Amino acid sequence: MFDVDAYLRCIGHEGEAKTDLDTLRALHKKHLMAIAYNSVSSLTRPPSRRGTGVDLVDIDEDATFDAVIAEGHGGGCIQLSRLFLRLLRELGFDVALLGGSTVEGAQLFGTEVEHMLLLVTLDDERWLVDVGYAGPSFLEPLRVGEEIQVQYGVQYRLVEDAGSLVLRRCARGGRWHVVYRFTLTVREPAAWSEFEAKVNANLAAAEPGAGGGLMLCSRALEDGQAILKGRRYLTVRDGREQVRTLVDTTEYEHLAAGILTGPVG
């Protein structure tokens, strides 16, 4: 059952939750550190009430809260973003749903509304909020503006392109690359119906036991992130990225467990 106080305890937020930028920053980062992105959980918790596949649009928020937050299983962008949206609204923030697409998602699903993120308005300034992207990406809200913004050694900027905003990222010593594109059009959950149908079609066509593809999981660290995609393990610490392929099964299982259950070393 969705419970604001229990939610705040789960992500480690203490004291009064004010509707200001400091609180928004704290909630955003604490959420990313406490609740893992978990692609496996996103495809299994909770099951579709229609019995036809994964339910990504008409989710039962109480059941999703129990599985993703209270039980600590984590989830995908839609589960995490929908729950954080409700939390922020319950706390009194002016927040709306936005839709976008990652580079990989656009290739897999061919729809412009794939990724779910949030827009919070505070004192006439707009802030991009996203607790549902596996990463690497920003750990605290980004102001919607043209300037370069730096978080934990990583640079971010929003660039206008053909009616969309493109989020670009540059790690320390690296090059700029695209994280995802989105628009500032306010959406309702039904906008993800096409994406849900394509996810279920892909799952239905997958080989038995394939589980919908490689595991993708991530968790924020105090100064960065740890991301596991299949056997590829990426860490970002103080803006510096390190990536390696995990060959040893024991090490793989240890690192996966660390991301999913925390904390990550």
Enumerate the active-site residues: 77, 115, 130
Please, are residues 220 and 234 in contact by the beta-carbon 8 Å criterion?
Answer: no
Closest CA relative to residue 127, chosen from 100, 89, 94: 94
Question: If DSSP codes are grouped into helix, strand and coil, which group holds residue 179?
Answer: strand
Tokens of 30: 């604490």
Nearest-angstrom CA–CA distance, 178 and 29: 21
Nearest-angstrom CA–CA distance, 129 and 60: 22
Q: What is the β-pairing status of strands 142-143 and 115-122? A: unpaired
Please, are residues 171 and 131 in contact by the beta-carbon 8 Å criterion?
Answer: no
Please, are residues 43 and 78 in contact by the beta-carbon 8 Å criterion?
Answer: no
Residue 136 phi/psi, 5-degree rounding, is -75, 145
Tokens of 74: 């984590």
| Local structure of residue 48 (DSSP, 8 states) | P
